[in-house]
Amino acid sequence: MKLVVIGFGQCGGRVADEFARLNARARSNRGIEIVTGAFAVNSDSADLSGLQAIKSDYKHRILIGGRRTGGHGVGKINELGAEIAKEDSDKIVDAIRVTPRFLESDAFLLVASSAGGTGSGSIPVVTKLIKERYADKPVYNLIILPFEHEENNEERTIYNTATCLKSVNAVADAVILVDNQRYIRKDSSIRNNIAAINALIVEPFYNLLCAGEEKKRKNIGAKTLDAGDILQTVSGWTVIGYGKSPLSMIRPFRQTRNFRDKSTETHKGIQAMDEALSELSLACNPQDANRALYLLSAPAREMNMDLVKELGDYMRDIAPKAIIRSGDYPRQKGVLDVTVILSELDTSTKIKSYYALSTTVIEEIRRKREEAACKLQDIDDAAKDIPSLL
């Protein structure tokens, strides 16, 4: 599957940068293209300068709202982010239009943090625009939810997140949710944490996108998971997970494997799926999923029918009402890994909590503005008898 990836705001731009790096890795190691174009859109020129893998020309690093923000961002006001996205949307469409391999793309993936200003404000606006212009290609949103300390300390974070989630759900074909807090490493520096989190967010997409683009016969699975399977699975609220298990090396000159080896292989597969489910991008109940997908990747000789059956039974048990699609990808060396997608979720506790909290936050913001206006008026009243020099 091939994607056009567009990142909005600082967070979205950095994740899009990781996708560009992932594409370079696929091209170098596997001779495969999985990203036909990677773009970063921002109202802050400094954030655009900090990227590494996305091309540095103005067609790939797109500065919007320069006249209104002076290239210094929107200060977390996502209404302003939405306004400047509407004004400068032609820059984004023009960049997509001239992408050399755009016609090979299967879908759009737009990425943003729900808590920021430029990202959360512009992503629903551009999603709607792209859907109107390119009706034959699905548009997916990858939304990064805020850290716990941001939710607790910044009222605007809750408001931005709620308005962003409501808006993208109304226009995107699917919204893939990622909870930043699930990836945090508290003993690492901020820079290392953010870089590691972005890499973990993107990693589950690697085999998923590569599997259907393979050209070498030995690397094509018995049951290929192609773009069509992904397009039919990913819909509505969606989460993604990835797990892996190291494989023991087979001793040279050994012609057969005993029953213990076969049992171990099956156990490794279940272990990898367990990890994928425990590391889902957002905590959820798999029973709420109406569609599901899993991809098994391992050396060809390590995958057998017993393993495939066990994984299929496991997925059916945890997501009983979901339409399940699956595939195998004989690629990895020394590792067995499983990628899982749960889609068309009926409900999400996390999303509902944002919506509930935002109503309280809106009232609080309104009250503080009224109090501030009253205090300013008191100061003006106190100075009304003093002559002015103007």
What is the distance between the alpha carbons of residues 140 and 175, in angstroms, rounded to a whole number?
Answer: 6
Note the pLDDT of residue 75.
85
Q: What residues does 139 pair with on adjacent strands?
A: 108
How is residue 341 written in tokens? Answer: 């997608």
Note the pLDDT of residue 263.
59
Note the pLDDT of residue 190.
63
Domains of the chain: 3-202 (3.40.50.1440), 217-345 (3.30.1330.20)
Ranges of residues in the chain whose predicted pLDDT is under 70? 185-191, 249-265
What is the DSSP track for 327-357? Answer: EEE---SSEEEEEEEEEEES--HHHHHHHHH
Note the pLDDT of residue 331.
82
Query: pLDDT tens digit string along 70-90?
Result: 878 898 889 999 999 999 999
Note the pLDDT of residue 252.
43
Note the pLDDT of residue 179.
93
Note the pLDDT of residue 234.
96
Note the pLDDT of residue 342.
97
Q: Which helix (H) or strand (E) holds 37?
A: strand 35-42
Note the pLDDT of residue 237.
97
Q: Which helix (H) or strand (E) holds 42?
A: strand 35-42
Residue 134 burial (CB count, 10 A): 18
Amino acid type, 127: T
Q: Are 275 and 244 in contact (CB under 8 A)?
A: yes
Note the pLDDT of residue 72.
84
Of 66, 125, 117, 70, which Cα lies nearest the Cα of 93? 125
